Structure 1
Amino acid sequence: MISVEEALKNILSAIKPVSTETVSIQLASGRILAEPVTARRTQPPSDLSAMDGYAVKASDVAVIPAKLSVIGESAAGHGFEGSVGTGEAVRIFTGAPLPKGTDTIIIQEDTDRDGDIVTVKEGADEGRYVRRAGIDFREGEPALKAGKKLTPRDIGLMAAMNIPWVAVYRKPQIALLSTGDELVRPGEPLGSNQIISTNSLVVAAMIEQAGGEAIDLGIAADNEDSLRQMAQGAAKADMLVTLGGASVGDHDLVQSVLGKEGLQIDFWRIAMRPGKPLMFGDLAGTPMLGMPGNPVSSMICSYIFLIPALDILMGRAPRDPKSIPAILSHDVKQNDQRQDYLRAKIVGDQDGLPLIETFSNQDSSLLSALSEADCLLMRLPHADPLNKGQQVEILMLEAAYPDV
């Protein structure tokens, strides 16, 4: 068995980014930038008013009250074309360009108007309520770096920069192949010795949430012909993930059958609980990750290994799981030689931190406990015992890999 750290290193070093494509910014949210984005215009393009009021020269309102002649108005999209002289003002509205000769905005609340004469009751320093040209960004300035996952905020920024199209990494296609005569899909007729196939649904949801595209190849029967034939569906995928069939039983055929099809094994079995029978290799040029059959094992292995691999496929740096501090509500015994990921739930708070309780039954087949769990408590090999009230680090399941 190899360590979790070594297994992750081997997987990530074998993964390469997928190809890129150009998409409209309307379709770019959630995608990973393949090239840096540079502003194509200056924003704002000229000095603008930040308030409704009057555009004036600051020197004309140095002594208050000041009476000025109103010679026109400036509105957003309809600027005042003339020039403003001494003793003059222009009625102006939010977002409108400052007329030539003005440098300050007097808000309308600080004025009284009578016909074409406005009396300024409160003065203002030069530049008050003025949005200077380029205060947001300037043409040619770098805006977004390659490798960034685009948010709705980024879409707004690019639109303001007059960028209609962007180069992004295409969504990696991950082929999922479940194995086992005992498996049937939800809703299908269920034999006395069969169970519902859940792993592909869980892993597919994680892939889609992370930004990839899951391709469900179906359920291969426990025979060589079925497995070989169905695995061919992964030929054009960016990665093949098998679910089950990676252990040591007579019916665990993935390694032996796919070995005849060119599978080169990098490692098989890691010092991890749950997830010991994890397999990784290359199947005729396609990276292959062989997940354990137990649902908890496959989900945790997806968090630890598949999501960082997806990051690289999508052109971004692999993220580390984000941990937060918490307090133990009970003692935890010393760990053995395998790195352990204990399912736990938050049962309260103590000293401003979540108070957690690990489940007494950590069996890797228990989907009910997995659904109820809020977090994982990771225990290194041979970790010392932990005491009730001790501070620990936990991995929140719904935010294990927050976008940064």
Structure 2
Amino acid sequence: MLSVDEAIAAIMDGAAPLGAEKTGLSEIVDRIAAEDVKARMTQPPFPASAMDGYAVRFVDMKETAVLTVIGEAPAGAPFDGKVGEGEAVRIFTGGAVPAGADHVVIQEDVTREGERITVNEDQEQPRNIRAAGIDFKKGDMLAEKGARLHEIHSALFAAANIAEICVYRRPKVAVFSNGDELKEPGSELKPGEIINSNHYALCAMIRKWGGEAIYLGCASDSEDAIRDYFKRGAETDIIIPVGGASVGDYDFVKSAFAKEGGETKFSKVAVRPGKPVWCGRIGETRVIGLPGNPASAIVTAALFVQPLVRRLAGEDWSAPFWTAALAAPVSANGGREAYMRAQEKDGVITLAPNQDSSLLFPFGTANALLRRLAHAPALEAGDKVEFVRLR
């Protein structure tokens, strides 16, 4: 039985970012840049007015000064000329500041009569002009290769006159459930049946990590049915069967995997919850089998599926451990590394009162997994512990 670190190392063996592809700006959020992204233009490309007013020479700015308006410069239609002594150009926010002007006097500070303006307020210094390139300049680095792109990147790249970005391909992750007792939400349940719920969380987590989650459905408790689901996922990068990996009479996932030509890397991990988690390959497709109990499935997905999905999606990522103070004592841990549902707030971490592996309800408020190493001693309130963030 492998340790958590050994299992992660086995899963990550040979894992590398998938090929790159071009995508439009509306599709880049949470993607990983496959190349450096540099500005194709300077922004703003010209000195621009920050206010509505008049472009003038600051040397002419004396209170009661009278200037002649020689034209206007709305945004997108620059004034074709130069501002000279005693002259002004009507300008609007975003408009290109004409040659000769080094100041914009705001419209509230002047009185206009026909083609003349009178300055009513003292102008202390040149202002209200945004210099060319004040945001960024052509050739500036906007995002480095390997960066996870977010919402503002799409606007930033657009402003730099970039329409497409080269990003790493999202790994395709096929998920299927297993069990005759599982029914979809909204079903009328017969005695012994339960709702099939794990895949909703797992697929959402996979998408958040940068993968393309494909839910294949729920396989019945037969070897042939499960083999068919492995076949359906054959063109994906990762297959995640959920459940059916224990040693019961109706657990056929591993035997179906073997008959499909699967090669097992490991079959158990010294972790609680989630001991039955396993890993292998069918050809080039990686397979990580998760336990069926909700807590076991979600915890092992966070520990073992997450780093693989993120790596294939192009992210150089490993689980960051944070520290917090215990809100209450915890007892000594046993021989398996444990990850306990908890809520961390303001540097204090509180365990969910019931850590049973069948429970989903604690995840409603849990935002962390408190880590307890194998054979860790008992701790008191206030002692520092490590945790992994769930959100």
Give TM-score, length-normalised by structure 2.
Answer: 0.91
- Give the % identical residues: 43
Deviations 1:343-388 (A, max 9, x none): 2346xx7xx54462431x3210122333353432211222221112
2:366 to 365, 370, 373: 373
Aligned to 1:390: 383
C-alpha distance in 1, partners of 2:82/2:15? 62
Of 247-256 and 133-142, the range deviating more from structure 2: 247-256
Q: Match of 1:337, as an amino acid?
A: G
Q: 1:225 to 1:101 in 2, by over 3 A?
A: same
Aligned to 1:136: 135
Aligned to 1:57: 57
Q: Match of 2:307, as an amino acid?
A: P
Q: Match of 1:142, as an amino acid?
A: M
C-alpha distance in 2, partners of 1:324/1:111? 59
Q: What SS is found at the alignment partner of 2:94?
A: coil
Aligned to 1:358: 352
- Tell me, yes or no, if structure 1 residue 344 matches structure 2 residue 342: yes
Q: What SS is found at the alignment partner of 1:14?
A: coil
C-alpha distance in 2, partners of 1:355/1:286? 38
Deviations 1:68-96 (A, max 9, x none): 22222221112211111122222222111
Q: CA deviation at 1:301?
A: 0.8
Aligned to 2:31: 31
Deviations 1:25-67 (A, max 9, x none): 2333333333332222221111111112221222223x54533
| Structure 1 residues 2-401: aligned runs within 5 Å | 2-61=2-61, 64-120=63-119, 121-126=121-126, 128-188=127-187, 190-321=189-320, 323=322, 325=324, 327-345=325-343, 353-354=347-348, 356-359=350-353, 361-397=354-390, 399=391
C-alpha distance in 2, partners of 1:370/1:70? 67
CA contact (8 A) 1:58 1:124 kept: no
C-alpha distance in 1, partners of 2:144/2:367? 33
Q: What SS is found at the alignment partner of 1:209?
A: helix
Q: Match of 1:50, as an amino acid?
A: A
C-alpha distance in 2, partners of 1:110/1:224? 83
Q: CA deviation at 1:251?
A: 3.3
Q: Match of 1:369, as an amino acid?
A: P
Q: Match of 1:339, as an amino acid?
A: E
Q: 1:143 to 1:330 in 2, by over 3 A?
A: closer
C-alpha distance in 2, partners of 1:316/1:81? 49
Q: 1:337 to 1:220 in 2, by over 3 A?
A: same
Q: What SS is found at the alignment partner of 2:13?
A: helix
Q: CA deviation at 1:300?
A: 0.7
C-alpha distance in 2, partners of 1:205/1:334? 34
Q: 1:89 to 1:228 in 2, by over 3 A?
A: same
Give TM-score, length-normalised by structure 1.
Answer: 0.88
Q: Match of 2:47, as an amino acid?
A: D
Aligned residues: 390
Q: Match of 2:260, as an amino acid?
A: E
CA contact (8 A) 1:309 1:318 kept: no
C-alpha distance in 2, partners of 1:261/1:383? 41
Q: Match of 2:19, as an amino acid?
A: S
C-alpha distance in 1, partners of 2:313/2:343? 32
Q: 1:189 to 1:176 in 2, by over 3 A?
A: same
C-alpha distance in 2, partners of 1:322/1:70? 64
C-alpha distance in 1, partners of 2:73/2:124? 19
CA contact (8 A) 1:111 1:122 kept: no
Q: CA deviation at 1:258?
A: 1.6
Q: CA deviation at 1:311?
A: 0.9
